[in-house]
Structure 1
């Protein structure tokens, strides 16, 4: 009788084996095989102290005349890229730049962008990749955060730099590409034209040295400079070639900004490390996307989720299926968009990927499971699965991990919402958490005593669920950020900027869902019972100091607000209310063009049905 109580029935085991094991076992074996290949290759690169440039040089020696980058009507061979990096390294060595110095790169997407940071890396100089949409105080903050010694910028972006020049340190050096530089700004093209295209590094560059800094909002506070060592860049290159299946015969379309991780590191690593052709565009164009892929004979294309939506909004045409794409590599692709895009454009394979800029874990949907960012192999023991990724329960209000009576985190059950953690094993080269340049900010992203005393994990800040087959599904972000049109926006930064405009008025910035759009649009609630805030002034200030995607789309004027027991403004109810005038009785406004207009029921409906584009 006891046996019948504790031993599952034969039917149960049949169901389990047929429904789960037969589904996941082949998939898991494939994942384990490719993961081992990635680890072995990464170990090989580590033991031989490889760097971004040394791996790129292998491709130069292998096929110097092969095309490395295509940009509009230009084609850059691997040797041309190599020669340009040598000129950059020589020019800055003549100017006494040395290992450990930091130079900000404020340049639009183009092949020279890659050559600049790759060339500087040969000196051991670290490049700070600054978002070209930033202006005013946000731009100043990012330049100062890395203690940059110099700034490289193009003529079209010169006004943005010159407008904050008086606020930067007097020792800052300025280098301009193109145009006629103002007084006190060096003409970098002149220096490069005089520099030799043969360079021998005076410094030993190590596998673990810092390569670039990329700014990320993380989950709290101002943007932070995430440290990207050579090892991390090479891991991305290895990940793309082995896990994603990119090879040297591919032509990869890269319409993503090169100051972001997806385009500037993962996409570019496919060329520098993988040896394929990278097609760089100055900016994303929904109407030209497929046409460009046809024109440049691309076999792989990169996306962020919202790009697919804009492309799908374009009128159908004969060219929709005239491309040679065999795969798209995306992040943030919603399930309904995923299938619609595959069907309309006849895309054979979708590789949805996941990984935080500063994080130590990454996933890829290597079996094309719609909606999944990847999976955790179910054939592995639980202790091993945790090192792939761990979902833990969090308090819905505080978003802090829930602890059991022993003080350890509690893993989520099937389909339960939880936060993803990346365990940081001691002495594991593939799971290093490099963190931010600001060590205090790095500490905030690490949690201790996760499943046992002394263990540590990276806090992704991402809420996910996992089904019974181990597939992971992204749900939302925790903390004080939201993601809109591929950009992570730090609410704390906007709230701080607002304080200089709204004076004594309290303000709360948060993200709200807009129909089926990927991510959350920005909304700010201002405590303004007497209607003293000048919305026109606020709109102009946002335009001057924030990137386009960081500007809040909606404003709500509150008669009062509430704070928590720890004196934090409550956002939970505001997020739930959203921007629906039938729900929110407070005055609402919507940013249309460069001004805020009253958000009426008609405007609300027009936004949701697409009559008003956002």
Structure 2
């Protein structure tokens, strides 16, 4: 009898296991990841009970715990956690005493990747400042807009970027902005120098200590592109920053890892996820000033790198490089990032060895995010039962013309079905706050959906189109609105249109992104209308682009039209233009291509088109 009971139980258990494998093959992956998230949450709450509340608190705690552990390796320099802590104290002493910078002050930071970016950032945090990270690719108009929008009264500029503010320095000074350069000297009398003052500053923490902080208050400003045409200053709460600390741990990184970081620190992925991830683990960051595809594997081998962060474009550059011995003679085991196309993913895995890809999705403005913790190629994450318990989200049906969510007669939104593309939204809550954009309440309100499923509820609209398949994998499909991604950056079409529109021979401009085989994101293209009796001056237009826009924003293709298509409310129509692309056989209008070597736009012939789509000509 006992034997029969045991046999029956074993058979039932086996049947249950077989059913689980067939019906829910990723059950254990989902459960294990969910338990990891729960553990991270418990650790975070325990730390907060013991006074370790903010991103800065976590760094100071790690500096006390592992003071001699290398934190930053950069161009031959090795800075331990103690070194960075003490140097950031010096920064706090200089700004606190020399200019009376204090809690609540907003300080803009325009610096390239270097250790002092982190030291200045943390030093200002120790005074309770809110730091605004500026994209060093921005030109005069956009740069001035960013500084004014976030309300900064102080600007700190890296020594290699001083020329970037030459055109706006007078305006900034007239507005009372306090200018600092991370150098020992400067030819500009009105600009303060930092490095010489650090030499004599105390390395003790500020006398008043780190200010008490509300975890829901603003920590940083990080700028994102938007439909206004100019970057938006997204407010990053202390809670959001602390939640970012666990990213590398969830990807499988440990304290023993050396993490290679070549992404710009003004991006959230590099600063909060990368630097923050190292702090959380007590790991070492190998910081690179600028990504170099030819040096990447050599650096990995030289520094015994075991983890690196990527954007999809970075990986594409690597697979397009000639083969070198170092690309398989390395110790890299994890690559963590976002935007990796499936074909690049497969080739990367085939060519560079046994590296776990941890593709993810996240937003600057909100805490909703995904992580693909499986071996499946292509998805950004999963949307099963456990995932929604950790951070709720939904995919909504939308109007394919307006991209607005479809609502029922009762006014409620409709959930997208599995296998159907929908707009990703997430409820605004204590764990998913939205602090809005600085200086623009209208844009902040536009990101919110109200009365989504019931009266009074509020959801954050990501503006991203996603698909959840029947296995609960989530795939990124597209980005709604007047932005597209190119070279790992968001391009605001209205900003580019405004810049092009100031050229004297152009009457109207409509900027959009077009897909090119073998490239991540979309390349810039512009449909333009020439002024009466004017012709296209490609050389003049090229010079205008160089002077006013970062290279990733340049339109590679022009389409000359007699008029632009608009809606009944006079909004420019892009859908048909995007669909037709830049093929001369499809587009009857004159087409031009930006020939950088000739520094002008040249007619786009069929032969030239074939060379671009085949990869013979690289953009």
Alignment TM class, shorter chain as reference? over 0.9
Query: Partner residue of 1:432?
Result: 433
| CA shift in 2, pair 1:271/1:379, >3 Å | closer
Query: Partner residue of 1:453?
Result: 455
Query: Partner residue of 2:126?
Result: 122
Q: Give the Cα separation in 1 of the matches to 2:223 and 2:275.
A: 17
Q: Give the Cα separation in 2 of the matches to 1:416 and 1:226.
A: 30
Query: Partner residue of 1:165?
Result: 169
Query: Partner residue of 2:9?
Result: none
* Alignment pair present for 1:187 and 2:197: no
Aligned to 1:113, the other structure's residue is in SS state helix
Conserved 8 A contact 1:99-1:124? yes
Q: Give the Cα separation in 2 of the matches to 1:232 and 1:239.
A: 12
Q: Give the Cα separation in 2 of the matches to 1:569 and 1:46.
A: 50
Segment of structure 1 superposing worse, 220-229 or 142-151: 220-229
Conserved 8 A contact 2:224-2:490? yes
Q: Give the Cα separation in 1 of the matches to 2:21 and 2:254.
A: 35
Segment of structure 1 superposing worse, 482-491 or 180-189: 180-189
Deviations 1:4-63 (A, max 9, x none): xxxxxxxxx999956763313212212321222233234345554612221111111111
1:295 pairs, out of 294, 302, 312, with 302
Aligned to 2:196, the other structure's residue is in SS state helix
> Counterparts in 2 of 1:405-444, with a 5 A limit?
405-425=409-429, 428=430, 430-438=431-439, 439-444=441-446
1:546 pairs, out of 542, 549, 557, with 549
Conserved 8 A contact 1:378-1:470? no
Q: Give the Cα separation in 2 of the matches to 1:385 and 1:395.
A: 28
* Alignment pair present for 1:85 and 2:88: yes
Conserved 8 A contact 1:102-1:148? yes
* Alignment pair present for 1:209 and 2:217: yes
Q: How far 1:518 moved relative to its partner? A: 0.9
Conserved 8 A contact 2:257-2:306? yes
Deviations 1:478-533 (A, max 9, x none): 11100111101111212222332257712111111011311111111112275445
Query: Partner residue of 1:233?
Result: 241
> Counterparts in 2 of 1:507-518, with a 5 A limit?
507-518=509-520
- C-alpha RMSD over aligned residues: 2.1
Conserved 8 A contact 1:359-1:435? no
Q: How far 1:187 moved relative to its partner? A: 1.3
Conserved 8 A contact 1:155-1:179? no
Q: Give the Cα separation in 2 of the matches to 1:347 and 1:90.
A: 47
* Alignment pair present for 1:526 and 2:528: yes
2:66 pairs, out of 52, 63, 68, with 63
Q: Give the Cα separation in 1 of the matches to 2:148 and 2:418.
A: 45
Query: Partner residue of 1:601?
Result: 606
| CA shift in 2, pair 1:134/1:572, >3 Å | same
Segment of structure 1 superposing worse, 359-368 or 168-177: 168-177
* Alignment pair present for 1:306 and 2:323: no
Aligned to 2:179, the other structure's residue is in SS state strand
Q: Give the Cα separation in 2 of the matches to 1:587 and 1:423.
A: 47
* Alignment pair present for 1:492 and 2:498: no
Segment of structure 1 superposing worse, 18-27 or 222-231: 18-27
Equivalences, count:
595
1:141 pairs, out of 140, 145, 163, with 145
Q: How far 1:211 moved relative to its partner? A: 2.2
Query: Partner residue of 1:4?
Result: none
Aligned to 2:602, the other structure's residue is in SS state strand
2:29 pairs, out of 27, 30, 37, with 27
* Alignment pair present for 1:100 and 2:113: no
> Counterparts in 2 of 1:392-407, with a 5 A limit?
392-407=396-411
Q: Give the Cα separation in 2 of the matches to 1:374 and 1:397.
A: 27
Q: Give the Cα separation in 1 of the matches to 2:606 and 2:78.
A: 51
TM-score, length of structure 1 as denominator length? 0.93
TM-score, length of structure 2 as denominator length? 0.92
Segment of structure 1 superposing worse, 471-480 or 584-593: 584-593
Q: Give the Cα separation in 2 of the matches to 1:434 and 1:124.
A: 18
Q: How far 1:387 moved relative to its partner? A: 4.8
| CA shift in 2, pair 1:553/1:44, >3 Å | farther
Q: How far 1:253 moved relative to its partner? A: 0.5
Q: How far 1:167 moved relative to its partner? A: 2.7
| CA shift in 2, pair 1:102/1:386, >3 Å | closer
Segment of structure 1 superposing worse, 232-241 or 204-213: 204-213
Q: Give the Cα separation in 2 of the matches to 1:17 and 1:391.
A: 28
Q: Give the Cα separation in 2 of the matches to 1:32 and 1:545.
A: 47
Q: Give the Cα separation in 2 of the matches to 1:323 and 1:30.
A: 29
Q: Give the Cα separation in 1 of the matches to 2:389 and 2:82.
A: 43
Higher relative contact order structure (alpha carbons within 8 Å, sequence separation ≥ 6): 1
* Alignment pair present for 1:580 and 2:583: yes
Q: Give the Cα separation in 2 of the matches to 1:389 and 1:368.
A: 23
Q: How far 1:285 moved relative to its partner? A: 0.7
Q: Give the Cα separation in 2 of the matches to 1:168 and 1:377.
A: 50
Q: How far 1:119 moved relative to its partner? A: 0.8
Query: Partner residue of 2:232?
Result: 224
1:150 pairs, out of 149, 154, 162, with 154
Q: Give the Cα separation in 2 of the matches to 1:285 and 1:415.
A: 39
Aligned to 1:463, the other structure's residue is in SS state strand
Q: How far 1:208 moved relative to its partner? A: 3.1
Aligned to 1:319, the other structure's residue is in SS state helix
Q: How far 1:573 moved relative to its partner? A: 0.6
Aligned to 1:54, the other structure's residue is in SS state helix
| CA shift in 2, pair 1:246/1:70, >3 Å | same
Conserved 8 A contact 1:136-1:544? no
